[in-house]
Structures are given as C-alpha cells and as structure tokens.
C-alpha cells in the first residue's frame, strides 16, 4: 500500500512539473508512417515487414528510424478504460511488436486522436489521456502522432498540452507530433508542447492540384509549399514545421518525386516516408536514401529554407547550412523544360530572419550538384542548366578556402 501511495505522489509530482521531453528531435525526425499507402489496412505482419525493409533497403543506415502505425490499430477499451489493440490485426500485442522493432535498432511510433474518436472511427484519447500515455509507456512507444478529428468544442492548445503532460507523467521519452492541420496556428504555441506540428491539411499523391473529399480537401506538393511561406521563424531544433508525410513512391513521376523530396529537405521538414518500402523500385529507393539531400534536411543549424528568387516559370529556394555553406533548390513548376542562367554576382542571398548573407561577388563558393552527385566548379562562372518538367536541380555551395 505504501509503495502504491508513493507511486501516486510521484506521478502527480511529474504532472505538476510537466514539460515536453527535450532534445529528442534536434534534427527533423525521419521514419515511415502507414497512412499514405495503407490507410486503415494495417496489421502486425505488415509493420514487422516494414521494419525489416527499413533495414534491408538502406533507409536505417541513412537516418530513418521511426516505424509509425497510423490510425485503425485500436480495438476496444477494457473495463478499466485502458486501450487495447485490435486482437485480429495485432494478436501478439503492441509490446511484442515494439520489442521486435527495437530489436532492429529502430523506434516505435503510434497514433491517437484528441477527440472522442479517431479519424477512422476508432476510440480516441479524449478523457483517457493519462491512461493512454501510461499504456504507451508500458508498450515501449517512442513517437506519438496525435490527430484532431471529432474534437468539437475543444481548445487545441489545451488538448495538446493535456497529452503532453500525460506523456511526461508516464515517464517514457516520446516524440510528440501535433497533427491539428494548422487550423489553430500551432507554430505560435507548439514549441513548448510538441516536437513537430502539421502546418496544413493532408497531402495527396499529386504534385500540383487538390483532391476533394466532400467537406475537406487534400493537397498537392506545390499547394502545401505555397500555403505557409511565412512561418519559418517558428521552426528549429526540437520544434519543426511539418508539411505532412511524403508521397514519394506513391504514383507521381520520378521528376515529381525528386522535387517533392528536395523541397521537404530544403524546408527542414520531418522526412516520414509514406510508400510501401517493402516493394520499392530502385529509383524510389535512390531518392529516399540520397545522403547528400538528407544532410541538407538534417543540417545542424536547423534553419528552414526560404523562397529567395522567383522568375516567370522557375524559382529558387535557399537554406543556410552549417560551416558557411548554402543549399539552393531550383524548381521548375511548369510542364515544360526551362533554361536557367544565373550570374551569381547579381543575385546575393539574404536571409534577414536568421541573419545570413551570401555575397557571391565578394566570396567564391564551390558548387556541388546533389542529384548528379558531381562538382560543377565555382560561383566565379555563370551558372547554366536545364530543368525538366516538374523537376529540380539542387546545389550545395561551400566557401572556397
């Protein structure tokens, strides 16, 4: 009895001292999530196979670590209110599945919702936040994506704060992914609550356009890129803007997949794959495991890129990097190839938000093409290239010593 009382006092002391777990996402999280490709069709064998594929494909080697089950894993709550996994889909239980994922050197992620029900109609966490957090800790959960369906009359900041406090009280460090679709400006309040927050509604596997779902739409890559151009100041180590999971390998063209991945890297976005990594073709695998692009995303400065140059049919996104370097992404938004000519002396890059400046007429930089994986000389010469339809050229500029 004394032990139980002590544990109760310790639990409530943790509640009073609650905060988010610090330094779990000093660079944007990398992993895989089931939703984009599989929706509600999830089961334990799929997740085990995905964990195996993350290792065998080389994804783990380049930094992917979270295997995240999205919606529809839930069964019912027991007589005490504790959530149980669907017994038909997850007959071995979540602890056994987490143990398997951990045995691969990976981390285990799960999904819930701040409302009464999840988006897929399964039990949500409203009113059960502390019980769910204790359950996740018992199972060995490392990452929680927390959605926003069926949350009528709830205050977003308050709801996410409650789950943050519950996770902290449970005692197991968990990366907390706020997924309320940007409706309540989470970038303004999310830094002390979560490690990342969705900035828009759901992504769709299209490059340019939108898909209607009755009362809501999902968005193409370019639409998401354009929605939130003025919130980069809120992102940084341990607190990231999240433009949603990636659709690389889910039906777009190779050019579009390459552009999508590049733009997410320039945005310092979480790199959460959403394809069937068990059956990737070599091109998709090459895109998702491009070490030089991943290094741009995972750069130690943690600065989100900005749109710095716009022409009639192409634009350039810039991202300051550690050690005085700079990443540039030349984006062709059109369905026709475009010719690019750039006199470096006429186009200095100025990041007023984070106080970085690059004057190419004063300092020479080496140029590295991160997709061609070759050096292109320096900024002392005019830069010329052709960009295919809906494609990119990504350069890394490093100071010449």
Tens of pLDDT, residue by residue over 101-115, are 999 999 999 999 999
Is it the case that residue 7 has pLDDT exceeding 60? no
Task: Provide the pLDDT for residue 2.
Answer: 46
pTM: predicted TM-score of the whole model, two decimal places = 0.95
CA distance 22 to 213: 37
CA angle (43, 49, 55) in 5-degree steps = 140
Q: What is the pLDDT of residue 4?
A: 52
Is the pLDDT reported for residue 8 higher than 60?
no
- Average pLDDT estimate for 356-380: 97
Q: What is the pLDDT of residues 131-155, one digit of tens each?
A: 999 999 999 999 999 999 999 999 9
- Mean pLDDT for all residues in the chain: 95
Ordered domains of the chain (ranges, CATH): 2-297 (3.20.20.70), 306-399 (2.60.40.1180)
pLDDT of residue 5: 54
pLDDT for residue 28 is more than 80: yes
* Alpha-carbon gap, residue 161 to 19, rounded angstroms: 9
The pLDDT > 90 percentage for the chain reads 94
Average pLDDT score over residue span 353-378: 97
Residue 188 is classified by DSSP as: G
Check if the beta carbon of residue 51 is closer than 8 Å to that of residue 106: yes
Locus of tokens 């900041």: 157
* pLDDT tens digit sequence for 53-78: 999 999 999 999 999 999 999 999 99
CB-side neighbour CA atoms (13 Å) of 6 = 3
* Residue 198, strand partner residues: 242
| Per-residue pLDDT tens over the stretch 220-237 | 999 999 999 899 999 999
Which of 12-26, 271-285, 323-337 has the weakest average pLDDT? 12-26
Q: Is the confidence at residue 10, as pLDDT, over 70?
A: no
Cα dihedral 330, 334, 335, 338 sign? negative
User: Which of 85, 105, 80, 106 is closest to 95 using CA atoms?
Assistant: 85
Average pLDDT over residues 160-185: 98
pLDDT of amino acid 12: 55
Q: Is the pLDDT of residue 288 over 70?
A: yes
Torsion of CA 8, 9, 15, 20, to 10 degrees: -90
> Do 119 and 113 form a contact (C-beta atoms < 8 A)?
yes
Predicted confidence at residue 312, as pLDDT, reads: 84
Residue 282 reports pLDDT greater than 70: yes
Give backbone dihedrals phi and psi of 24, rounded to 5 degrees, phi first.
-90, -15
Local confidence band at 16 (pLDDT 50, 70, 90 cut-offs): low
What pLDDT is attached to residue 13?
52
Which residues are known to be catalytic? 147, 202
For tokens 């990443």, name the residue: 327
């Amino acid at each position: 009895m004394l032990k139980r009382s002590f544990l109760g006092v310790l639990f409530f002391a943790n509640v009073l001292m609650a905060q988010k777990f610090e330094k779990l996402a000093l660079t944007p999280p990398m992993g895989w999530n089931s939703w984009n490709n599989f929706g509600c069709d999830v089961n334990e064998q799929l997740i085990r196979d995905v964990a195996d594929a993350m290792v065998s494909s080389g994804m783990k080697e380049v930094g992917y670590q979270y295997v995240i089950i999205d919606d529809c894993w839930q069964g019912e709550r027991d007589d005490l209110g504790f959530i149980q996994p669907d017994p038909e889909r997850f007959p071995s239980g979540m602890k056994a599945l987490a143990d398997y994922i951990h045995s691969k050197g990976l981390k285990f992620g799960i999904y819930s919702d701040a409302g009464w029900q999840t988006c897929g109609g399964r039990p949500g966490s409203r009113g059960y936040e502390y019980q769910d957090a204790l359950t996740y800790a018992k199972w060995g959960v490392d990452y929680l994506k927390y959605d926003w369906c069926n949350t009528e009359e709830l205050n977003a900041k308050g709801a996410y704060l409650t789950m943050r406090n519950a996770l902290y009280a449970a005692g197991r460090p968990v990366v907390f992914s706020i997924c309320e679709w940007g409706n309540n400006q989470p970038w303004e309040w999310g830094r002390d609550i979560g490690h990342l927050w969705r900035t828009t509604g759901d992504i769709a596997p299209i490059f340019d356009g939108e898909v209607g779902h009755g009362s809501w739409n999902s968005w193409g890559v370019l639409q998401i890129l354009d929605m939130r151009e003025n919130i980069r100041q809120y992102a940084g180590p341990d607190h990231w803007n999240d433009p949603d999971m990636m659709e690389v390998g889910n039906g777009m063209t190779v050019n579009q997949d390459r552009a999508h991945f590049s733009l997410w890297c320039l945005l310092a976005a979480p790199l959460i794959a959403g394809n069937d990594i068990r059956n990737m073709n070599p091109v998709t695998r090459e895109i998702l495991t491009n070490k030089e692009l991943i290094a741009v995303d995972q750069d130690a400065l943690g600065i989100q890129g900005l749109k710095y140059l716009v022409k009639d049919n192409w634009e350039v996104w810039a991202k300051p990097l550690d050690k005085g370097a700079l990443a540039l992404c030349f984006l062709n938004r059109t369905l026709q190839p475009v010719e690019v000519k750039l006199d470096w002396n006429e186009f200095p890059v100025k990041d007023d938000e984070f106080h970085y400046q690059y004057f190419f007429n004063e300092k020479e930089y080496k140029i590295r093409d991160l997709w061609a994986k070759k050096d292109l000389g320096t900024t002392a010469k005019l830069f010329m290239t052709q960009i295919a339809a809906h494609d990119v050229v990504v350069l890394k500029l490093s100071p010449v010593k």
